Structure 1
């Protein structure tokens, strides 16, 4: 694992320390890793949303569409017939 040192103003350091103690993080490093992971997830979600918005329109999602999905899911849950 690599190490990175950061400088924070006293007010931000106090905020990080409070978050660590209030939310059960073991260390400030654990808190920072969680923030970075959340940012990665947010960026990935944004990328997917933008790709979806730029994609060609498809068939509208209707109640019949969801009914069809439920039917397929129920059929997939049924045990295979015994031979």
Structure 2
């Protein structure tokens, strides 16, 4: 995978947070930490899209006795069963 170099500007508060994360030893560099944050956000966005599609599908299929929370929980359970979470 090709890497693209980026330059970003963060606030002083964000820099302190980044440094505190690096101090845990879980990340070797700012870049590694930021890539991990991006991957997590991408996964979260994908999960939201799946839930949204399932809710739309449920609404279009007609009346259901399941609540939106039931549908969300079913989708999450399915993703866990598939090893996606």
1:9-51, Cα deviation, whole Å (9 max, x unpaired): 2221111011012152000110000000010001000000010
Say what the alpha-carbon RMSD is for the aligned residues: 1.9
**Which structure 1 segments of 5+ residues have no match?**
61-83
Specify which structure has the bigger relative contact order, considering alpha-carbon pairs within 8 angstroms and separated by 6 or more residues: 2
The gaps in structure 2 that reach 5 residues or longer are 66-85
Which residue is equivalent to 2:15?
A: 13
TM-score, with structure 1 as normaliser: 0.63
Which residue of 42, 57, 76 corresponds with 2:44?
42
In our comparison, the structure showing a higher alpha carbon Rg is: 1
Size of the aligned set, in residue pairs, is 59
Matched, 1:24 2:16: no
